Amino acid sequence: MDAPQEHTVPDSAPASDAEDERWCMAVRLLGRMERRLDEALRRRHALPLSEYRAMCALSRPESGGALRMGELADRIGMKDSSVTRLIARLEAQGLAERTSWSGDGRAVTAAITEAGRRRYTAATFTYRSALGTELDAARANVHLADLADWVRTAEADEAAG
């Protein structure tokens, strides 16, 4: 078996100890936000965050009504095998369906059903309310304030534009 290839970016310096520590802090804090979003969705809608995110990606106009499983995995930050199991759970609830990709019977796509769209729409207010609360809390954290401000500012700019 070949050894893994080292991935390098030309002219990039390795991260410093301080950069590594800041990155670890950001990951921990964002993980906490993810847990709180998941808790809110589960409590109000019995819907895990991962399933909400999948339905969100499938609902977007740019998805064209369906996404190949690998593309869905990329969009929601999961492994292909995990997305396959996630879509199977949504399919069992009537919230998504799998079909063959046109032109390639080996490739599988996932699409949201009408029941899935209704469930996603019902959960969106809860998700966005919890996200707003968490972003406001993050603004008080010295390590996340810039990120939270950027998310909030871009949101305001899009609404105005």
Question: Tokens standing for 138?
Answer: 């993050």
Percentage of the chain exceeding pLDDT 90: 56
Question: Tokens standing for 11?
Answer: 């002219």
Residue 92, amino acid: A
**pLDDT at res. 12:** 85
pLDDT in tens, 95-117: 999 987 666 667 889 999 999 99
pLDDT in tens, 40-95: 999 999 999 999 999 999 999 888 878 999 999 999 999 999 999 999 999 999 99
> Which residues are CB-neighbours of 47 under 8 A, at least 6 positions away?
41, 119, 123
> What is the chain's mean pLDDT, rounded?
87
Burial class from Cβ neighbours inside 10 Å (0-12, 13-18, 19+) for residue 17 reads: exposed
Q: Can you tell me the distance from the alpha carbon of 110 to that of 101, in angstroms, rounded to the nearest whole number?
A: 9
